[in-house]
Structure 1
């Protein structure tokens, strides 16, 4: 099982959470950013329906694969 970490950081004059180098919207306080990260992390663990997905890799090649709805990552919020 993979693990996704939401990190609370100062960003753009406020606070945001960052996942794999991508920032959320900016929040005026650490507490609001933390609450948003907690909600997002919890939602990411909810199982869904299995579906086919397409994605582009770092070299620009497209791939198709089946994504199991029960294959959800472990999540954590830090900061």
Structure 2
């Protein structure tokens, strides 16, 4: 034990370490909750994206059927800003 390591200084150091540990545990819990929330949001966005892709596919098929066998493709359209 070093000369400057009195029981009082050891108690102070231990209290400081316990305080830091408590803050770290708090932030880990906070980050864990944030990650879980982001994961739920990502799942919902992936479901929405899949639904939108399916609806776009259905609309494309409907437009192809209206254009006598699909002679016109949506990919060939020039965007409105050109």
Pair member with larger Rg: 2
Normalised by the length of structure 2, the TM-score is: 0.27
Name the one with the larger strand percent: 1
Larger relative contact order, structure 1 or 2 (CA cutoff 8 Å, min sep 6): 1
